[in-house]
Amino acid sequence: MSTDVRPNADPRDQRLADLEAQVARLAAQLAARDARIAELEAALAAAERAAKRQATPFARRTRKPDPQKPGRNGGQGRFARRTPPPQVHVEHHVPLPVCPTCAGDLTDRQWHEQVQVEIPPVEPHVTRFCTESGYCPVCAKRVRATHPEQISTATGAAGVVLGPRVKALAADLHHRLGLSYGKVADLLNEVFALPVTRGGLCQADAALATLAEGIYAELLAAVRSSSVVHVDETGWRIGELAAWLWVFTNADLTVYTIEASRGHEVIVEILGREFRGVLVADCFVAYDAAALRDWLQQKCVAHLLRDLRELTQTKHGAVQAWALELMTLLRDALTLKAQAADVRDPAYEAATAELEARLDRLIAGALRSRDADRARIGRRLDKHRPEILRFLYWEEVEATNNRAERQLRPAVVTRKTGGCNRTKDGAAGHAILMSVLATCRQQGMKILDYLIALQQYGATPPALAPA
């Protein structure tokens, strides 16, 4: 269409047409920008959902700009050769009379030594137990002898059983290291020539868990009387139903339980209503229930530092300065506790009082802030005010909940590879065996030896619960 102005045309009509064309162009640009904004918001929402997925709860959101290189740092001791085993089973001497390239004579010939440590081919070790039985007229029943190394008295069709070491190794591979029953069966068949099925391993674990029920009860009693307990939870499944795997741990022992609830009732059931220690946890709402109101708690400082770090990356000005100041305060508190020789020292008490005053000032400033994110963190700090720096007053209380999170990681591996549990009985047995294995690891006990002693008639495993 021609845009020439006719002689008798009204200039206002031409001006109106120009404005309408400009509005149309602006509307098209605005629509394109709205579409782009919607696309970016969808991408951001997807990234946030991915960051919060239980499948990767420990993944970093951003890479470190200067990650630590693997291996030992320079100056950290003298590099020494690995000490060879004291016994050498096979020795080979390989002379070199001539040059392998041109067959010429060699001069300055020297011998070089290398020690190769290898696993020998493994064959199943079979033990036959021939035991005697007889009828006792006094007891009016048939009695039978047992050997101390036996783990079962089955005979006939069930008279060939897996030994205690096989069952112990399979339980450790599945419940602590996260291998599925299928992979454990393949490993035993390939390495040890043991034709084991997944169903057989599952039944063996169920029997082993039954034997460990008394030990699990002792661990429950011990964790209830502990002065400090770290707690955390992660998603789980029992068959097709949603569930939660809980961990209660400290420096000496670990107790797992798998429940259908993520509520505070689980905490009360495991620790008891009369728990008098310090509960180290994050700010999940279950730990704020009325039933736990009188409990002493320490909120995880690492979670708070992570939220403040995100705030410094998205905010500017006064809000960013406030977050940085609060991060500095928390790090000062961590340093003070790490360097303290005695929490009753007057200088330590004065430094603690100064940190408390700084924290009160920062919380008061956040509560008056018009920034929604700063005010939200301020309200959380105000709500948990006594539980932020409690670790400064208890020598055995840690500032973070990393101990519980570390104990959850093996369970996360099992969730990925083994598909959680199919039945309630399987979930209960899994919790029992994980608790025993994790506690053995914490106390420096050999896991296989402990589980073997648990199964054999003539052995008694040492107590795991602290005296």
Domain residue ranges of the chain, discontinuous segments joined by +:
135-210, 221-294+403-446, 301-392
Q: Compute the distance between CA of residue 95 and CA of residue 81 in angstroms, rounded to an integer.
A: 24
Output the six-digit token pair for 390: 């409690």
Answer whether 170's CB lies under 8 Å from 188's CB. yes
Answer whether 374's CB lies under 8 Å from 322's CB. yes
CA distances, 278 to each of 107, 122, 144, 353, 465 (Å): 74, 49, 51, 21, 19
Q: Which residue is associated with the tokens 């047409």?
A: 17
Indicate the pairing of strand 296-299 with strand 241-249.
unpaired
- Cα of first residue to Cα of last residue in the chain, in angstroms, is 97
Alpha helices in 340-423 (DSSP H): 346-367, 372-383, 402-418
Q: Report CA 255 to chain centroid distance, whole Å.
A: 13
Q: Compute the distance between CA of residue 343 and CA of residue 351 in angstroms, rounded to an integer.
A: 11
CA dihedral 64, 69, 71, 74 (to 10 degrees): -120
- Which residue in 200, 195, 255, 188 sits closest to 225, CA to CA? 255
Indicate the pairing of strand 228-238 with strand 241-249.
antiparallel
Taking the chain (467 residues) in runs of 10, the rounded mean pLDDT of each run is 56 84 89 87 74 54 74 67 80 93 92 88 90 93 93 87 92 90 93 91 93 94 95 92 94 94 94 93 92 93 93 90 94 93 89 94 92 93 94 93 92 79 92 95 93 91 83
Write the DSSP assignment of 297-356 as a string of letters: EEE-HHHHHHHHHHHHHH--HHHHHHHHHHHHHHHHHHHHHHH-S-TT-HHHHHHHHHHH
- Which residue in 238, 260, 458 sits closest to 246, CA to CA? 260
CA distances, 308 to each of 44, 322, 326, 330, 377 (Å): 20, 9, 8, 11, 8
- pTM comes to 0.78
Phi, psi for 99 (deg, rounded to 5)? -65, 130
CATH topology for the 221-294+403-446 domain:
Nucleotidyltransferase; domain 5 (3.30.420)
